[in-house]
Amino acid sequence: MPWWRRRGLTPETSEPSEDPNGPVIRLESVSKVFRGEGEETRALDSVSLDIARGEYVSVSGPSGCGKSTLLSILGLLDAPTSGRYFLKGRPTDRLSPQERARVRNLDVGLVFQSFNLIGDMTVYENVEYPLTLRGVAPPEREARVSAALERVGLTARARQRPGVLSGGQQQLVAVARAITGRPAVLLADEPTGNLDSKSGEALMHMFAELHAGGATLCVVTHDPRWLTQAQRGLHLFDGRLVDGPSGA
């Protein structure tokens, strides 16, 4: 059997085929173990999960339960120790580091609690950067970036650098950067953790609008407001998916 068929590829596209009716995200018995100095920490323990196209999911749980580890795996920033992760129906376990970076840039929008903006770039350049990596033509880049900044209300700040913005504005820049690539799934890690209540509510409204427009969202949070806004709530306890906050 040819190598490209073993990997689910076609000779015409060299890309894995995608089931349009399948889940955007599928985890099959995924575990993540960290080892060091003779100790072993099981951050995730046999997690199986499907997230459908257009679904809005929240992930909650106590500190240290594995929420951020789960998001890192979903965002292709880390890999499971065991189990399998499928993104848009495509297995991710055999991707090279370069392929993981390419797939992440194409299919995943990431919003971190710490913003992760590039300080010596302007707001516009930060939002444009993922499109530049993709090789998107300048006219299309300009149209997408302008639309994303308008959506988050930061058009007037386009030529400023992140350091002069408030925390809430920096988070909105991170959201604009995440959505400008039109990702298959938007992942957010404690997105309101460093924001005041007004900025947090604005961000929640933005996510609700994105979901209404058909976006797939997975938000890791301890904020109860996100739990009521999401279609489905998942709860992690000691690295396992459980039914409720007590693990009962």
The per-residue pLDDT for range 115-140, each reduced to its tens digit, is 889 999 999 999 999 999 989 999 99
| CB of 31 closer than 8 Å to CB of 82 | yes
Residue 5 pLDDT: 45
The reported pLDDT for the residue numbered 17 is: 52
User: What global pTM score does this model have?
Assistant: 0.83
**199 φ, ψ (degrees, to nearest 5):** -65, -40
Under 8 Å between Cβ of 230 and 58: yes
Show the beta-strand stretches assigned E in 21-127.
25-36, 39-51, 56-60, 82-87, 90-91, 108-111
pLDDT at 244: 56
**Residue 19's pLDDT is what?**
64
Q: Please report, rounded to a whole number, the percentage of residues in the chain having pLDDT higher than 90.
A: 61
Residues in the chain with pLDDT values less than 50: 1-16, 246-248
Residue 206: per-residue pLDDT: 86
Strand 56-60 with 82-87, pairing: unpaired
Q: Alpha-carbon distance 67 to 139, whole Å?
A: 38
By C-alpha distance, which of 126, 114, 102 is closest to 188? 114
- The domains located in the chain, with CATH, are 19-242 (3.40.50.300)
